[in-house]
Structure 1
Amino acid sequence: MQLNPFSLADKHILVTGASSGIGREVAIWISKQGARVTLVARDVSRLETTLGLLEGNQHNLEVVDFLADTDISQWLKTVAKNSVPFDGLVHAAGVQMPMPIRATSLAHWEKIMSTNVTSGFSLIKAFRQKGVCNPASSIVLISSVMAQAGESALLGYCASKGAVEGMVRAAAVELAREGIRVNAIAPGVVQTELVDTLESLVGADSMKSIEERHPLGFGKAEDVAYAANYLLSPASKWVTGTALVVDGGYLA
């Protein structure tokens, strides 16, 4: 038995959405646990800011737009070839884009689905390629309690996160034979830029009402980072196909 089964020492982890919010905090925290981190997002200047906050000096960054026509499978194979194979993936890139049903266009809906669902599928498919990941690797997708609960103006977001969790279960069953675990983290409302966007739409009173439905209050990005640490580490070696709820009691 390992002395510290939560350690990420010598593990190479890919983190998407690493330019801000949950993705940035996950990257910072796992670097403190010994991981070598490859940061991924669209904004190079914000990625460089994240890079400067990491512990250690073997980290690198990749600028990728998952909505562009990038061949994700070939890109990830090249990244692994140019460094070392991965031991884990945290897909934190995503959008919320609150919008009442009456105002939601098909283009709006499709952007949410592409960003939150299709990108996850592309990464799962790419990650499992020969030479990209090591044995006993772990994939972690960031879902939301909105996969199980509804909220006004978040129809597309709720639907996309429900799809993410369905995808996680199916991938976990299929990839178990390859030694790859697949899980999700389902946070409640976490204090990030997305919360500011939601508050600007629904108003301060509505946000206060939402916060009151979290018995422990709104969470912080570090709360999700700690959960990601667990799912990436050997401590969770018998955990796959689940969504770990980290919500301050919201669903309760």
Structure 2
Amino acid sequence: MMLDTKINPMDLTGKQVLVTGASAGIGRACCTLLSQLGAKIILTGRNQAGLEETLSSLSGNGHKIAVFDIKNINGLGDWVKYLRSEYGYLDSFVHCAGVQITKPIRSFDQGFFDDTMHVNLASAMAITQGFRLKRDRSKQGSIVFVSSIAGLIGQTGNTVYGASKAGLMSLTRGLAMELLRDNIRVNCVAPALVETEMAQRAQDSMTAAQFQHMLDQHPMGLGKPDDVANAVAFLLSDAAKWINAVTLPVEGGYLAN
């Protein structure tokens, strides 16, 4: 009996992956793990120094930095086409970029809403629009959006952020059906609170009692960026080749409360 020589279905050797929000936190953890699995990474974000720090942590070679402000929604499609012409075929796309600002409804304004929706939701659609062009349909592509359990629950002062992340979950389902003809899977991960710079900013915006209440809702403690990166890598890989249109909570038991 012949044995399959590919014994690791999460092997990403030969794949090139575009990762947004790669300068820190979950994005950096994703880049590091995906490179360890053999992928070549195109790291993007606004922070050149942060991207270079991430680059220094990667395994292998052939990785690239592409600085871009994803608030420029109308320019994102052309930017993705440029990346493909400059660096070659893009097998996968991971959208980690996001903003989170805690504001109660009394402080709501259009600028706050537009900024949150542009970065967290509209950019995912615009990059996907560019990613799907001129695909080799014999190769299965994969997209993973990083959402949040804030899109599944109610949190005081976090309603706009939660709405944007719920939008990513809906976007996942719609695009998964629309991109079937392009042989692209679209999935999503929804982390609870993870120890990142964004979480620290959230803590800084709360009272000690409010933050302790949030901690108490995580039965397994706060997550690490690597916990989310592991889920992202799984959904990108051939181990998940028959998984499509799902949102995978990565939340340490939070939703069991």
Common fold: TM-score over 0.5: yes
| Secondary structure at the counterpart of residue 117 of structure 1 | helix
Cα distance in 2 for residues equivalent to 1:199 and 1:184 = 25
Q: What does 1:203-222 correspond to in 2, within 5 Å?
A: 203-222=207-226
Distance across 1 between alignment mates of 2:245 and 2:208: 36
Could you report, residue by residue, the CA deviation over 1:135-169 in whole angstroms, capped at 9, with x for unpaired residues? 20100000001111011110100100111110110
* Partner of residue 21, structure 1: 25
Counterpart amino acid of residue 15 in structure 1: V
Q: Percent identity?
A: 37
- 2:46 pairs with 42, 46, 50, which one? 42
2:106 pairs with 99, 102, 106, which one?
102
Partner of 2:76: 72
Cα shift readout 1:181-229 (whole Å, capped 9, x = no counterpart): 0000000000101111111111222111111111111100000000011
The TM-score normalised by the length of structure 2 is 0.95
| Deviations 1:14-59 (CA, angstroms, capped at 9, x unpaired) | 1000001100110011111111000000111111111111111210
Structure 2 equivalent of residue 183 of structure 1 = 187
Partner residue of 1:239?
243
* Partner secondary structure for residue 139 of structure 1: strand
Q: Between 125-134 and 19-28, report the one with greater CA deviation.
A: 125-134
Q: Relative to structure 1, is the Cα distance of residues 33 and 48 closer, same or farther in structure 2, using a 3 angstrom cutoff?
A: same
Letter aligned with residue 224 of structure 2: K
Distance in 1 of aligned mates of 2:255 and 2:18: 29
Q: Does 1:4 align with 2:8?
A: yes
Q: Which amino acid aligns with 1:17?
A: G
Q: Deviations over 1:48-90 (max 9, x none)?
A: 1111111112100100001136521221112112222011110
Taking the TM superposition and a 5 Å limit, the aligned residue runs for 1:47-126 are: 47-68=51-72, 71-126=75-130
Q: TM-score, normalised by structure 1?
A: 0.97
- Residue 223 of structure 1 aligns with an amino acid whose one-letter code is D
CA–CA separation in structure 1 for the residues paired with 2:71 and 2:137:
23
Write the distance in 1 (CA, Å) between the matches of 2:42 and 2:158: 31
Q: Specify the alignment match of 2:152 in structure 1.
A: 148
Structure 1 residue 115: deviation in Å? 0.8
Deviation above 4 Å: which 4+ runs of structure 1? 131-134
> How many equivalent residue pairs?
252
1:228 aligns to 2:232 (yes or no): yes
Structure 1: how far apart are the matches of 2:19 and 2:137? 14
What is the aligned-residue RMSD (CA, Å)?
1.4
Alignment-mate amino acid for residue 29 of structure 2: E
Gaps of 5+ in 1: none
In the aligned structure 2, how far is the partner of 1:133 from the partner of 1:92?
25
Q: What is the distance in 2 between the residues matched to 1:132 and 1:3?
A: 25
* Mapped contact 2:137–2:183 kept (Cα < 8 A): no
Q: Which whole-Å CA distance do the structure 2 matches of 1:122 and 1:214 have between them?
A: 34
Q: Which residue is 1:162 aligned to?
A: 166
Partners of 1:103 and 1:60 in 2: CA distance: 40
